[in-house]
Each structure stands twice: as structure tokens, then as C-alpha cells.
């Protein structure tokens, strides 16, 4: 069984419609730790050594956040800037994260049609998350495409919210229990594009 760390970054959780639901669906799972960065560091004074120890204790590191300006809320950028130190995360002796699986669980206001060369946002979600992928690569991590929930601005019916939350839960359980076909998962646009195609049944 693998241990999963969710680094959760939402600056206004009480107004969240989807991230709160995704989080609630997984936070009581065995082997899953949710670490709320805005709640832990309201002044942005990130405890680097605590964060590094948390990462070292987990096999899978997920950054869960709403998509803000084609990127992450500010605290996740701050986390990268401070925690991914030379000699720890990268560099000739920086191997603390080597081999750990990582991906983003992100939600976006824009719809799938708008994420592509002909859409308002010009690029696909996979393309827009390239800096995260390059960072993971530099740190020797095993990158997977994001678990993505798009189109939140079109309205999110309760049924859809429940369906996405359940898909997130099933994804995390399968990752924890080594039941994901990682090659298939890496090839997809998003992790949850075709969950049946990447999750091996028991």
C-alpha cells in the first residue's frame, strides 16, 4: 500500500463548490493525508523542514487546487519556491523526491472546448501544466497528467459533483493499492479521462 499526501491549496475554502467536495471524498481514506496549506500557513511562512519531512514520508504527492490564471493559487508557487531546495529536491545530491508519483488535481472554470488551439485559452490543460511536469522531471519524480474537473463556470449540478468526487476517491484508492496502469495513465490528457481504462480491477 502506498501513502498519499495531498497538498491542498484553496484560499477561500468556504466558497468552494468542487474542491471542498473532492477533498471530503478522500480525506478519511486509509493511507491519505490532506495537508491544507492556506490553513497551515495563513501568513505564508512555510515551515520548509516540516514540508520536506512530510514529502519524505509519502510515496505519492498530489497538489490539489483550483486553476488560477492558468496556474496555481499563490501558496503552491511559494511552496515550490521554498521547499524544493537544491541538494534536497534536485542537484547532484538532491534525490529526496526520486521515484515518487506526483500530479495535480485541478478544477477550472473554463470548459473543455475552451482548452485547445481553437478555444479562448489557446492551449490544452496538459500543455498549460507543462511547468509542473518539468519541475517534477527535474526532481526525478514520476509525473502523471492532472486529475481535472473543467467547466465549473457553466454550473455544477449536484449529480456531477458527486460523480467527480467518487472518481477522485476511486483514483486515489487505486493508486494507493497499486492498481493503476501507470503507462496508460501517463499517455492520457487527464487522469480521469478514462478511469476504467487505467484502473485494474482486483
Helices assigned H by DSSP within the chain: 19-26, 37-40, 48-56, 74-83, 125-128, 130-138, 158-176, 182-187, 195-198
Q: For residue 26, give the C-alpha cell.
A: 478522500
Residue among 125 and 180 whose Cβ is closer to ligand FMN: 125
State the minimum distance, in angstroms, from the CB of residue 198 to ligand FMN.
Answer: 23
**108 near ligand FMN, judged by CB under 6 A:** yes
33 half-sphere exposure, CB direction, 13 A CA radius: 16
**67 near ligand FMN, judged by CB under 6 A:** yes
Which CB contacts under 8 angstroms, 24+ apart, belong to 178-185?
178/1, 178/2, 182/101, 182/142, 182/144, 185/144, 185/145
**107 near ligand FMN, judged by CB under 6 A:** yes
User: Which range touches ligand FMN (CB under 6 A), out of 9-17, 80-88, 168-176, 186-194?
Assistant: 9-17
User: Residue 117 contacts by C-beta under 8 Å, 6 or more apart in sequence?
Assistant: 123
User: Which range touches ligand FMN (CB under 6 A), out of 14-22, 81-89, 134-142, 173-181?
Assistant: 14-22
Per-residue binder mask for ligand FMN (CB under 6 A), 20-59, x = binder: ----------------------------------------
**123 near ligand FMN, judged by CB under 6 A:** no
User: Residue 16 contacts by C-beta under 8 Å, 6 or more apart in sequence?
Assistant: 10, 66
Q: Which of 3, 16, 135, 170 binds ligand FMN (CB under 6 A)?
A: 16
Residue among 69 and 201 whose Cβ is closer to ligand FMN: 69
Residues within the interface to ligand FMN (CB under 6 A): 10, 16-19, 66-70, 107-110, 152
Amino acid at each position: 500500500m502506498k501513502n498519499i499526501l495531498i497538498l491542498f491549496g484553496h484560499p477561500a475554502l468556504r466558497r468552494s463548490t468542487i474542491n471542498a467536495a473532492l477533498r471530503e471524498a478522500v480525506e478519511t481514506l486509509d493511507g491519505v493525508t490532506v495537508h491544507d496549506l492556506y490553513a497551515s500557513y495563513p501568513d505564508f511562512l512555510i515551515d520548509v523542514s516540516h514540508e520536506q519531512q512530510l514529502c519524505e514520508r509519502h510515496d505519492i504527492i498530489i497538489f490539489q487546487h483550483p486553476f488560477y490564471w492558468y496556474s496555481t493559487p499563490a501558496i503552491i508557487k511559494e511552496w515550490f519556491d521554498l521547499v524544493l531546495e537544491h541538494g534536497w529536491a534536485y542537484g547532484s545530491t538532491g534525490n529526496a523526491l526520486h521515484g515518487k508519483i506526483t500530479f495535480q488535481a485541478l478544477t477550472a472554470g473554463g470548459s473543455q472546448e475552451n482548452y485547445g488551439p481553437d478555444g479562448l485559452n489557446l492551449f490544452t490543460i496538459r500543455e498549460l501544466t507543462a511547468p509542473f511536469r518539468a519541475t517534477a522531471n527535474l526532481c526525478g519524480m514520476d509525473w502523471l497528467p492532472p486529475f481535472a474537473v473543467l467547466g465549473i463556470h457553466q454550473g455544477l449540478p449536484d449529480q456531477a459533483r458527486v460523480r467527480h468526487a467518487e472518481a477522485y476517491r476511486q483514483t486515489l484508492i487505486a493508486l494507493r493499492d497499486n492498481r493503476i496502469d501507470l503507462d496508460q495513465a501517463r499517455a492520457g490528457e487527464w487522469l480521469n479521462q478514462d478511469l476504467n481504462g487505467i484502473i485494474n480491477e482486483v
